[in-house]
């Protein structure tokens, strides 16, 4: 049986980080990630078929149906969850999913999030010898997730590694001198 990479996406976290930390405004359509590229990158990461699980908070009784339909058309499984407002519904759903994957005989995981709430589950997967990664904006990834790199966690940057955007985002990052092109700044 062929190994599967589960791409587990915390859409709220990615969207909030993009809007509040990277852009400092609500993303326009052209500034949003191209989720088909993210799913393709997850499959290419370790040369395995990727299954996209996209978690959504449906607690208010509303779902952005055009977005849900677009996700389905890109072969994601939208997972809309509901719970009382005191429950971090998406986080709990993702935690349960990561725990379920750990109980399967196989399965690699790439988490789309910056959040430390998933560190225990990610650590458990790494300790089982699974391939585990995170897709995020590297500079906003939780320091607790960064610590898991010592155990083998791979980090994929949404913009620079995955090329998930159609436009260049206004990010400041450290540039290796060998990759520095002054013309990019003139």
Read off the tokens for 116.
């430390």
Give the integer Cα–Cα distance in Å for 51 and 183. Answer: 39
Residue 25 per-residue DSSP state = S
For residue 1, the model assigns a pLDDT of 58
pLDDT exceeds cutoff 80 at 155: yes
Looking at every residue in the chain, the average pLDDT score rounds to 93
pLDDT tens digit sequence for 54-91: 999 998 888 889 999 999 999 999 999 999 989 999 99
The string of pLDDT tens digits covering residues 86-117 is: 999 999 999 999 999 999 989 999 999 999 99
Class of domain 5-185: alpha beta
Query: Cα dihedral angle (151, 160, 116, 37), rounded to 10 degrees?
Result: -100
The DSSP call for residue 28 is: P
Q: What percent of the chain has pLDDT over 90?
A: 75
pLDDT of residue 86: 92
CA distance 178 to 137: 22
């Amino acid at each position: 049986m062929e190994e599967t990479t589960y791409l587990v996406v915390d859409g709220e976290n990615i969207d909030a980080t993009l809007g509040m930390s990277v852009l400092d405004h609500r993303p326009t359509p052209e500034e949003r990630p191209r989720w088909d590229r993210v799913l393709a990158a997850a499959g290419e990461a370790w040369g395995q078929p990727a299954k996209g699980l996209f978690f959504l908070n449906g607690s208010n009784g509303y779902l952005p149906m055009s977005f849900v339909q677009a996700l389905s058309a890109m072969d994601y499984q939208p997972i809309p969850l509901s719970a009382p407002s005191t429950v971090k519904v998406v986080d709990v759903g993702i935690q349960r999913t990561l725990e379920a994957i750990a109980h399967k005989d196989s399965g690699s995981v790439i988490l789309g999030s910056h959040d430390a709430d998933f560190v225990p589950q990610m650590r458990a997967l790494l300790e089982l010898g699974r391939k585990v990664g995170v897709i995020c904006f590297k500079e906003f990834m939780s320091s607790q997730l960064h610590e898991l790199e010592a155990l083998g966690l791979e980090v994929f940057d949404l913009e620079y590694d995955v090329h998930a955007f159609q436009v260049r985002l206004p990010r400041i990052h450290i540039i290796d001198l060998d990759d520095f092109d002054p013309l990019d700044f003139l």
